[in-house]
A and B are shown apart, each in its own frame.
Chain A
Amino acid sequence: MRSILTVYRKELSDHFSSNKFLVLLALIYIAGLSSTYVALTNIRGAASSLDKEVFLYLFTTGGDVLPSFITFISFFIPIIGIIFGFDAINSERNSGNLSRILSQPIYRDSVINGKFLAGITTLSIIIASIVFIISGVGLFAIGVPPTTEEILRLFFFILICVFYGGFWMGLSMLFSVIMEKTAASILTAIAIWIFLMFFLPIIANAIANGMVPLANNAAVADQIRNYNIEHIISRISPATLFTEAIVVLLVPVGGNILVNPVAYQQSSSMLKSGKMILNPLSIGQSFIQVWPQLLIIVALSIICFAISYIIFMRQEIRST
């Protein structure tokens, strides 16, 4: 255990003193504070007088020019995860450090465990710190303290972000285990991220439209079928699962409808005309809605790390 802690401390100190950490932190803070500014200017229009959980609007309200904080964060978390994992093992191997470290009286898994934990800790600190900063700024600006439920929602939001980042870190760490060159491991991880984030929704849409074409006045049944196909394919991507989970969690009023375009389309006119009023979901109900997404994100993180772990444990360690 002490050896894991030793590796963990060293890696943590490396992360905190690295330029990439400072750049990422600056980027996240700029994005976070910009989105807070946008949220503060638009919050009056977004929140209704009936809303009890106004505080969360700080994180979910966007503007015409800049998106909301949760949009920013769902974009940045994979990048942070990839950056903290892509060279974890292959850079050690290439520099000749791995054989030296593993010849010390430590178990081999101490290295990969310590590195993963340090990466996760750094990621948690980055996310938690920006959430706290936004909360502080928001508290000062809007003067409405968060309710206990909002605090809990934010806590679970941070936790989901960490697991989501853990998935990307585990994936890039896997490439760092199996690929010799750091350039190859980062490019592969980024290629997968770009595919899942940008191309998969387009592919899913094309497949759904190919299977169930939608005319201008398509029947609701066809719309639902089309949506279901697109949604099933999109859910291959952890990015989709993450977005669904955080939207439902941070938008208690209608968050579950926002992630379902058909339901949103069906209910939007009634909502606008006031014929339909949405009640906020309790935190428990929100969790019931996103439980599958959360489980899959956690499982994917564990699977990615477990594969890296197994491959690393079976790898030949040579100095050259």
Chain B
Amino acid sequence: MSDNNNLIISNNLSKKYNEHLVVSDLNLTVKKGEIFGLLGPNGAGKSTIILMILGLTEPTSGSISVAGFNSTREPLKVKRITGYLPERVGFYDDMTARGNLAYTAELNNVPYREIPIKIDEVLKIVDLLDNKNHLVKTFSKGMRQRLGIADVLIKDPQLIIFDEPTEGLDVKVANQILQTILNLNKQKNITFLVSSHQLNLMQRICPRVGILSKGKLISEGSVENLGRSLFGGGKYRIELELEKVPDEIIEKLKKLDKVVNVTRNDSQLQVVCDKDIRQDISRLISSEGILLTRMDMKQDALEEIYLKYFKEE
């Protein structure tokens, strides 16, 4: 089960509620030190997978492990190294930030004399040190989310699971949260499993994603590779709009270096390629005496990949 490079390994993991299959034969691996994004619409099974990782619900069949510890049989060992920040993180409003963190620290068996030091350390990371003696009920949503990050850091986790970490936050705060995730990943080599609908934000932090639909992992890999497999193999897509589109121009475009595929839709052309060849294309079209009215280049945005999957479903 355990693998030196993989932190989370699931083997044919399935979960049924009554007769309804929520997760089906999931084979997922998350490597140590990576930020993995779990994508999928509501009801795709993301939360159930997270619960099974934490040992809070038992799989119907298959297994899942974290750092070699079976989540079903050894949930305490898993939870000792895994921090979980739910979408709607709750704190005791009538307690201070310090009080809430002290409670979490005690539940994690942090030695009593180390608790104040640990609290200051994690509050400093999330920039809440000045608010440590404030009641949580006075905190904004962004501050609560940052306190949530501090809360999971108390246990020095190897893995942090974030369920919709930026949901309901304004762009500035969301950016701060994402930056904190990137910093923690870089500085402390913490592995992240992030489940979110905010695909543009996910794309910024998740080099690798898994797309879930109806409990099945329908695709997994880097955003780049997912785009390649969906959009014809190239890394870039250049969309052209021409005054007229003679057949020979398509053939000539296909012969350009690094071009993988060219498709036509009326006066529009889509060139899939492995390199930014906009200059070559512009030069070719000018030489043919055709008026180029528009040219856009798109990297494979996660949102497009996501939409494409669920459009085809």
Contacts and interface: CB of A to CB of B under 8 A. Distances in A.
Interface of A: 2-3, 6-7, 10, 14, 92, 95-108, 316-320
Contacts of B89: 96, 100, 319
Interface in B52-81: 54, 56-57, 76-77, 79-80
B18 to A, nearest CB: 12
B149 to A, nearest CB: 12
Interface string B79-116: 11011101111111100000000011011110000000
Nearest to A103: B84
A99 B86 contact: yes
Interface of B: 47, 51, 54, 56-57, 76-77, 79-80, 82-84, 86-93, 103-104, 106-109, 148, 151, 155, 163
B84 A6 contact: no
Contacts of B56: 99, 102-103, 108, 317
B51 A2 contact: no
Contacts of A98: 90
B87 A320 contact: yes
Given A100-B151, A103-B79, A105-B76, A320 B109 contact: no
B107 A319 contact: no
B84 A105 contact: no
Nearest to A92: B90
Contacts of B107: 3, 6-7, 101, 104-106
Given A6-B103, A107-B76, A320 B88 contact: yes
Contact of B109 (A92, A96, A100, A105): A105
Contacts of A104: 79, 104, 107-108, 155
Ordered nearest first, which 10 A-B pairs have the shortest CB separation? A96-B90, A319-B86, A103-B84, A97-B90, A104-B107, A105-B80, A105-B79, A95-B90, A96-B88, A6-B106
27 contacts: A6-B106, A6-B107, A10-B103, A92-B90, A96-B88, A96-B89, A96-B90, A99-B84, A99-B86, A100-B84, A100-B89, A102-B54, A102-B56, A103-B79, A103-B82, A104-B79, A104-B104, A104-B108, A105-B107, A105-B155, A106-B76, A318-B47, A319-B47, A319-B86, A319-B88, A320-B87, A320-B88
Nearest to A98: B90
Contacts of B82: 103
A319 B148 CA distance: 13
Contacts of B104: 100, 104
A180 to B, nearest CB: 15
Contacts of B90: 92, 95-100, 319
A96 B86 contact: yes
